[in-house]
Amino acid sequence: MWDYTDKVKEHFLNPKNVGKIEDADGVGEVGSLACGDALRLFIKVEDGRIVDARFQTFGCGSAIASSSALTEMVKGKTLDEALQITNKDIADYLGGLPKEKMHCSVMGREALEAAINNYRGIETPDQPLEGEVVCECFGVTDVQIRRAIEENDLKSVEDVTHYTKAGGGCERCLPDIEKILAEVRGAMETRAEREPPGPPARLTNLQRIQKVQQVIDEEIRPSLQADGGDLELVDVDGTKVYVSLRGTCSNCPSSQITLKSGVEARLREVVDPDIQVLEA
């Protein structure tokens, strides 16, 4: 039996946003009933933002929970922000998924890309990604396998099957998956050796937002409040962090210095070296 988090159970038992949007602006479909999982995602877009999202799925509890979580996560986001959501963000939102069920979060991310492509008039090919089909049973390409290995730091063929389903049928493709895995792991290790240690690994968008909020709440605000000032996080758009100064900080002549050499420097140090802090 799978060990599901309370959040997965909550989204599975009481899924949010089930159904279709009749006048959807974008529809994305992934999977097929033959493979056991299929997801259809509908989005409604206004002024470049997703204002509504709904789904229909024919999958297991994790597929329902992942789809439900995804629809909650994308609402209110711009299309570009939504495209930054990774399958790991979906799993993190649910407090984690059993590794055997990670392919459900991958399916969610692919349906989102397909729905946004559909809205933008970009044709999504039958195969969600270009490349050569490696696993005939589940129609998984080498590009999907490489991407899953890189994004999720997968280390075994079994992991690849859990994340992509490739290899979970007749197993004829296992030697090819093993070859791709060795190649991608080799390239990742060479890259890691070349890159100097220091800046932390790149964060997903959701992780970056959570970390920014945490550093602001736990470190920056208390030190500003001690001098009668304050700061509020307004928005995070990629590596741009928008804040609003409050209290004595709002009319302080050196507020820009505080933002750059205090707030921005600290966030670059502990969250992401590319962060830019801007006043909202």
CB atoms within 10 A of CB 222: 11
Q: Which is nearer to ligand FES, 77 or 146 (CB)?
A: 146
- Residues lying near ligand FES in the complex (CB under 6 A): 135-137, 166-173
User: Which residue of the set 60, 104, 135, 173 is catalytic?
Assistant: 104
As measured in angstroms, the least distance from the Cβ of 257 to ligand FES is: 59
Residue 199 phi/psi, 5-degree rounding, is: -55, 140
d(CA 253, CA 241): 21
Q: Which is nearer to ligand FES, 18 or 133 (CB)?
A: 133
Q: Which is nearer to ligand FES, 27 or 174 (CB)?
A: 174
Q: Which is nearer to ligand FES, 41 or 166 (CB)?
A: 166
Q: Is 135 a catalytic residue?
A: no
- Residue 189 neighbours by CB under 8 Å, 6+ apart: none
As measured in angstroms, the least distance from the Cβ of 141 to ligand FES is: 12
As measured in angstroms, the least distance from the Cβ of 174 to ligand FES is: 7
Lookup: tokens for 273: 């070296």
Q: Is 35 a catalytic residue?
A: yes
User: Which residue of the set 35, 135, 173, 249 is catalytic?
Assistant: 35
- Residue 75 neighbours by CB under 8 Å, 6+ apart: 50, 51, 52, 53
As measured in angstroms, the least distance from the Cβ of 230 to ligand FES is: 57
- Tell me the C-alpha to C-alpha distance, in Å, between residue 20 and each of 27, 57, 64: 9, 11, 14
Catalytic residues: 35, 104
